[in-house]
Amino acid sequence: MDLRRVVVTGIGALTPIGNNAGAFWQGLTNGVSGAAPITKFNPEKFRTKFACEVKGFEVADFIDRKEARKMDPFTQYALVVSEEALKDSGINTEKINLDRAGVIWGSGIGGLKTFQEEVIGFARGDGTPRFNPFFIPKMIVDLSSGFISIRYGFRGPNFVTVSACASATNAIVDAFTYIRIGKIDVAIAGGSEAAVTEAGIGGFNAMKALSERNNSPATASRPFDKDRDGFVLGEGAGALILEEYEHAKARGARIYAELTGGGMSSDAYHITAPHPEGLGALNVMKNALDDAGITPQEVDYINVHGTSTPLGDISETQAIQRVFGKHAYNLNISSTKSMTGHLLGAAGAIEAIASVLAIKHQLVPPTINHFTDDEAFDPKLNFTFNKAQERKVNVVLSNTFGFGGHNFSIIFRKLQE
């Protein structure tokens, strides 16, 4: 069948380093760290006492307080970035076929704050069940896409993907596919997460997944550094407006980039650890390249998963070298998680936005917090350490991997008329 072209016409971001897409990009290119001591609860008794929180966000600036009380923060975040992205796209919802407009969202955990509060409230009571009537709707992950769909009247496909830290990229790939095969013309796709809670920090601490660099939070997320000791938990959301190319062109839309391919794979190895040889990462990047019809030599920049964990950074880098061969030395590689922390199910969305903005501005954001070389990494690879680099950026590949062995890669390309 003839596959339709898919382009990005709008973006929206709410992140630990900027509360809209412009501020997010400025934070990235200036090498700003979003990590700081936790303010959402008292972390004194936790091994990790810091996170990458969203800062200065007042939900009442965006959503009526009465409505906001029906939503967990992860859904509030989803609505805020969707509105920004839709406005950015210039789409007039009265002039498109809403039956052919979808919402495909991603979240790895969903309403963790709501679940924690309701269970604690019950446990502290006398055993009488007194639960908020919105407990279940606030908690379940699909209400994020549901609220977005209701707000804008989008009557096409409407669901949430759950594939741990790959959830948002999973959602983007699904939306891309629906547009590509002609099921819909427009989609709001992305992801949101709000897991900086006692349960979130405590749970990841129990797994020994988080950095415990409490004496220097701003330098704790250090992908590819010899002294990396785990990831920094982040929160926020990102949204992209994906649109069929002819549909976008007909309304005179500004186009950021073309989404040309998506790959999927599974490690089939372990519930939390990556495949030791990076097999899943290798396969997903190959699948994305094949899907896009792009050779490895055409890729200019890889926005890596790069979480700052001892094993994950190594396996991903090994996979890159096996897929790209000698061309790996011509690439820019960077982990924007060094600045944003790890937004779990929302990570792929803000990293997709970083990728399209790298194409727009012809600038690669850095991997900050590099202090000590690790002999596990080839010194000839360009990890874009500590400072953004100008270069020709026509093609960007973005990786996201999740617990359970879920792997997704997407490829953006500068628009070719």
pLDDT in tens, 10-52: 999 999 999 999 999 999 999 999 999 999 999 999 999 999 9
pLDDT for 276: 86
**Would you say how long the chain is, in residues?**
417
* Ordered alpha helix ranges (H), 275-330: 279-292, 310-324
pLDDT for 417: 77
pLDDT for 304: 98
pLDDT in tens, 338-395: 999 999 999 999 999 999 999 999 999 999 999 999 999 999 999 999 999 999 999 9
Its pTM stands at: 0.98
Give the active site residue among 165, 247, 370, 406: 165
Indicate the residue type of 118: E
SS3 call for 244:
strand
Q: How many CB atoms lie within 10 A of CB 323?
A: 22
Q: Which of 153, 20, 12 is nearest to 85 (CA)?
A: 12
Chain centre distance of CA 221: 16
The span from the CA of 90 to the CA of 206, in Å, is 45
Give the active site residue among 247, 275, 305, 370: 305
Indicate the residue type of 274: P
Is residue 327 flagged as an active site residue?
Answer: no
pLDDT for 341: 98
Give the active site residue among 52, 247, 275, 342: 342
Is residue 165 flagged as an active site residue?
Answer: yes
Indicate the residue type of 239: A
Q: How is residue 150 written in tokens?
A: 């209701």
Is residue 342 flagged as an active site residue?
Answer: yes
pLDDT for 1: 76
DSSP structural state of residue 4: P
Q: How is residue 322 written in tokens?
A: 């096996």
Residue ranges in the chain modelled with pLDDT below 70: none
Backbone angles phi, psi at 14, to 5 degrees: -135, 110
SS3 call for 360:
helix
The span from the CA of 55 to the CA of 39, in Å, is 10
